[in-house]
Structure 1
């Protein structure tokens, strides 16, 4: 009999394609035959926490394991309280380590981290980045299971040339530095007057307004789509050639994996766990964070060396086959059962 799972995470519709994993993962687990309850879709943070804890209290006898999406910001405290509730009811729980800033929590909140992660059935890291950091912090209950996608939903496009048509997909938030993409476009227009940028994602902290104001002031050809579903932005990706990941902090973002699957030339800042996902010069390019000159030059390199870029794109697609749910699900089934 398949395990009964209670999945705790941020199930807000406004974050439908961002780092949150619960929407996709709960669906594929159900397809595998697991009984899955999930929480929470409450917009109010206090109500969200109350619902998470309430469901544990209500369904603990009908739950075999709790999965907890775990990040490094406010969610860290949610995860800690959920873990304490699991401990009270003697429930096995598995944190999935998503946040690129989780290493700060390990050093700044050692007591809470030991209680949360040390007593888990297993801590699932999506890459060697967080695995190594947690290992060095003294945790042994660790397993690497990559973030996954349904690869069949991301058709690969073979490009004969790469034009200065840039795509950016993320939540508009300071830590993801969306303004860097706008500045790169501004620089590129000096060489490529046909350059353009499409930015996909919801507003979080006013960053979108700043980007919009800057683009309007300097008459830059930037399209702001707002929030799109995964299938929607994957569909428009065929009209663009280069993907920019401008973040200042990161782990192994799903949006980058998806862009690699779609055949976009990959250019990312070299932060956090990105060098575990993108190998510089082999399946994409990495540049220092907050460096608009380096990122601008990276775009030019991808455009001006199409043979090399095509080779990198093919290797990127080959790499992300390991992230396909049909591959990853075997590790999850083994862990859960």
Structure 2
């Protein structure tokens, strides 16, 4: 079956149960980094519930004697490999390709990408190998051509991520895995100075320099011993060098060892040496750390990204036998240093256990499995009809969305540089073309040419809705193009009238489009939107109605939700069978409760995701919607004024649209709060040149998150959005609390169907409620008691029973409104 494949319904609990994966890569023998990782990954994925089919790229040719001819061996392997790959890709949902540099890329990885795409399957490329920098310098264009067909690229280290970034490819870091059950410390080594080198005997790993360094070590430690394990073409040359250096019985070549013997050898060693000339993220270093063995390594490739010199290992220049020997002696002659490095290494090794790496890998699997449809009517709309629509409206949303889907994977530092660049351009433009800001900069002696950091914005005052309403004409740029009038509904206490140009609209459309695609749906999939106001309905002319039918979009106005209208909406949803729902969480929860009262099941509609926005999403609302529609709920945050600010990804991170907005969290005095603390949200929209929003107070309260999201996107995160300022109530003694403190009193009472709390002032709070059959006196008394316990004993609580709770003009249903301004 072609196209994206759904994850199991219980993907949150058992994320890989029943997922079919074709794992393409080498297998031992010979044992090596990629081969061992492929074998280990297959076992771990199966233990996690996945159905894994291994497609081995290095199977021995038949007859076996032909394998001795290197070029012929590769040719004889290729045809059987491609046949196995074709069959496995047909059975799989996802093809995971373990890729390497050189001919391995051309003969194994690239064909796997193309065959998987021809068969309509998701492709994840897991690129490894320390020679990537050299390989990509020569073959970047060829690699890019095939990599463009992959749905995700992962690498094990920041070093490789930077290498690919230099060639225009974004890679996510999913580290190598070390088996802590197999590799573990076992007390002191049997011999006082036992050195282990665990790399294949190939020129790249430069065991020759290791032998010369060992010879120097023996001058100070004659009892020292060196063990070199592995096999390869360098064996004879190394044996000859060992004879020349008179190493004798102090040196042992073990040849090939199985995993169990290898783990035992680490535990018998007092130092692990990595002498390689090029490297990425050596498994041997992880295994040494896990075994409690201190490490000396050359500072090549990705090793300095892994080993911190003097902290969890010692780094030396490549091919420098003297420095290598001095580093080894520093450890062998200083037991305290050896213990310190070993302890730091053991702590570091825990980061590479399967329990730590699995969430990062599964996030990339979900990214591939939830990719938007590649064919059918949806693809026709998203690739042709909607781009044509945007072109006719002179919007750049198509190109912007493509750029954003690339930049979302940039590291935070690169995104920060982009934002500073765009901020400087916006400030310079407004200083020349926007009267309000030209005067503002002059009055605050603000020099836009000196802005070098996002923090420089703090020199400017925060702008509120009243500032825009009182100086609206002065906010319009004198070189603005066509402008469209907008207004907010005033849910924060004051409505706002403002304007937007085509560039601002294009950016907001692109940002929303990108976030929608995170969830495996796209423009053109059937959708139902539950929001809108009577004002918006008047704009539903014939052209727009035809456009919506073409895009398979169904609008269900949320401003009037009577029982008869909700019945009609349920019938229309059953006919539409939307793949995605958009709307206010409160309105959709009313619809769900109405369906439950009518005993109408919604979990068979085929909804893939429920997008909620414009209101605070409460935990109980998320749970209700997810259970009712049997689909995840994705929270979005933004507004017509501030723009599309943030959206939740499938891994739970609330990603800020960093390419377009700068989001600050400030306290009551306008100073930045500590990361993770709550405060007022202030936004600068970098695409608002025609009618600028610079340090604009949204009226919302939230907090930033400092923890990265497992999805790997470099976009910064919102930790939470707690609601509008007016969603907070103020007690008689001045204590500020979220409206949840009062909501919890009413929410679970079975006698109450709906409610709304309005804090008129510090002395009076009204409660509008719809009861089932009249509110009992004891319940009324208890509500008043609990409200007064929170707001103050002298506060008057007025309970008014009504037939229904009217929605806001926009269709939103707000539980709490406070007219008290918190200090």
TM-score, scaled to structure 1:
0.93
Within 5 Å, give how 1:158-169 maps onto structure 2.
Answer: 158-159=187-188, 163-169=192-198
SS of the residue aligned with 1:256? helix
Hey, what's the Cα distance between the residues in 2 that align with 1:233 and 1:34? 28
Hey, what's the Cα distance between the residues in 1 that align with 2:187 and 2:167? 43
Q: Determine whether 1:280 maps to 2:295.
A: no
Following TM superposition, by how much is the alpha carbon of 1:288 offset from its aligned partner in structure 2, in angstroms? 0.3
The answer (yes or no) to whether the contact 1:267–1:286 under 8 Å persists in 2 is yes
Following TM superposition, by how much is the alpha carbon of 1:261 offset from its aligned partner in structure 2, in angstroms? 0.8
Report what 1:249 is aligned to.
Answer: 278
SS of the residue aligned with 1:80? helix
Q: Determine whether 1:200 maps to 2:229.
A: yes
Following TM superposition, by how much is the alpha carbon of 1:90 offset from its aligned partner in structure 2, in angstroms? 2.5
Following TM superposition, by how much is the alpha carbon of 1:195 offset from its aligned partner in structure 2, in angstroms? 1.3
Q: Deviations over 1:184-225 (max 9, x none)?
A: 11111111111110011022x2x1111112223443121111
Report what 2:778 is aligned to.
Answer: none
How many residues are aligned here?
Answer: 333
Q: Deviations over 1:164-199 (max 9, x none)?
A: 311010110000111122111111111111111001
Following TM superposition, by how much is the alpha carbon of 1:159 offset from its aligned partner in structure 2, in angstroms? 4.2
Report what 1:91 is aligned to.
Answer: 121
Hey, what's the Cα distance between the residues in 1 that align with 2:81 and 2:113? 11
Q: Determine whether 1:126 maps to 2:156.
A: yes
The answer (yes or no) to whether the contact 2:194–2:225 under 8 Å persists in 1 is yes
Q: Determine whether 1:42 maps to 2:93.
A: no
Quick check: 50-59 or 288-297, which moved more? 50-59
User: Which structure shows the higher helix fraction?
Assistant: 1
Hey, what's the Cα distance between the residues in 1 that align with 2:105 and 2:242? 35
Which structure has the higher relative contact order (CA within 8 Å, separation 6+)?
1
The answer (yes or no) to whether the contact 1:129–1:251 under 8 Å persists in 2 is yes
Within 5 Å, give how 1:144-293 maps onto structure 2.
Answer: 144-159=173-188, 163-203=192-232, 205=233, 207-220=234-247, 221-293=250-322
Hey, what's the Cα distance between the residues in 2 that align with 1:313 and 1:162? 17
SS of the residue aligned with 2:257? coil
SS of the residue aligned with 2:336? helix
> What is the root-mean-square deviation in Å for CA atoms of aligned residues?
1.9
Hey, what's the Cα distance between the residues in 1 that align with 2:54 and 2:231? 23
Report what 2:817 is aligned to.
Answer: none
The answer (yes or no) to whether the contact 1:3–1:336 under 8 Å persists in 2 is no
Hey, what's the Cα distance between the residues in 2 that align with 1:47 and 1:318? 45
Hey, what's the Cα distance between the residues in 2 that align with 1:263 and 1:59? 40
1:5 to 12, 15, 21: 21
Hey, what's the Cα distance between the residues in 2 that align with 1:46 and 1:63? 26
Report what 1:305 is aligned to.
Answer: 334
The answer (yes or no) to whether the contact 1:14–1:202 under 8 Å persists in 2 is no
Q: 1:172 to 1:161 in 2, by over 3 A?
A: closer
**What are the ranges of 5 or more consecutive residues in structure 2 without an aligned counterpart?**
1-7, 9-17, 61-72, 367-823
Q: 1:306 to 1:161 in 2, by over 3 A?
A: farther
Following TM superposition, by how much is the alpha carbon of 1:39 offset from its aligned partner in structure 2, in angstroms? 2.0
Q: Deviations over 1:24-52 (max 9, x none)?
A: 11111111111111122423322333233
The answer (yes or no) to whether the contact 2:101–2:129 under 8 Å persists in 1 is yes
Q: Deviations over 1:212-253 (max 9, x none)?
A: 122234431211110101221111222220101010000001
Q: Deviations over 1:240-290 (max 9, x none)?
A: 201010100000011110011111110000000001111000000000001
The answer (yes or no) to whether the contact 1:184–1:292 under 8 Å persists in 2 is yes
Following TM superposition, by how much is the alpha carbon of 1:160 offset from its aligned partner in structure 2, in angstroms? 9.4
Q: Deviations over 1:291-329 (max 9, x none)?
A: 000000001111222212211110111011010012211
The answer (yes or no) to whether the contact 2:55–2:88 under 8 Å persists in 1 is no
Q: 1:233 to 1:317 in 2, by over 3 A?
A: same
Hey, what's the Cα distance between the residues in 1 that align with 2:91 and 2:266? 43
Q: 1:73 to 1:181 in 2, by over 3 A?
A: same
Following TM superposition, by how much is the alpha carbon of 1:18 offset from its aligned partner in structure 2, in angstroms? 3.6
Following TM superposition, by how much is the alpha carbon of 1:158 offset from its aligned partner in structure 2, in angstroms? 4.6
Hey, what's the Cα distance between the residues in 1 that align with 2:286 and 2:231? 19
Quick check: 252-261 or 14-23, which moved more? 14-23
Instruction: Give the structure with higher Rg (CA).
Output: 2
The answer (yes or no) to whether the contact 2:178–2:352 under 8 Å persists in 1 is yes
Hey, what's the Cα distance between the residues in 2 that align with 1:51 and 1:314? 47
Hey, what's the Cα distance between the residues in 2 that align with 1:258 and 1:98? 17
Q: Deviations over 1:46-89 (max 9, x none)?
A: 23332332123223331111111111132111212222222322
Report what 2:613 is aligned to.
Answer: none
Report what 1:79 is aligned to.
Answer: 109
The answer (yes or no) to whether the contact 1:167–1:198 under 8 Å persists in 2 is yes
Hey, what's the Cα distance between the residues in 2 that align with 1:110 and 1:197? 40
Quick check: 277-286 or 181-190, which moved more? 181-190
The answer (yes or no) to whether the contact 1:68–1:94 under 8 Å persists in 2 is yes
Hey, what's the Cα distance between the residues in 2 that align with 1:17 and 1:57? 26
**What are the ranges of 5 or more consecutive residues in structure 1 without an aligned counterpart?**
none
Q: 1:280 to 1:45 in 2, by over 3 A?
A: same
The answer (yes or no) to whether the contact 2:279–2:301 under 8 Å persists in 1 is yes
Off by >6 Å, runs of 4+ in structure 1: none
Q: 1:48 to 1:28 in 2, by over 3 A?
A: farther
Hey, what's the Cα distance between the residues in 1 that align with 2:229 and 2:128? 21
Q: Deviations over 1:93-115 (max 9, x none)?
A: 11111111112222211221112
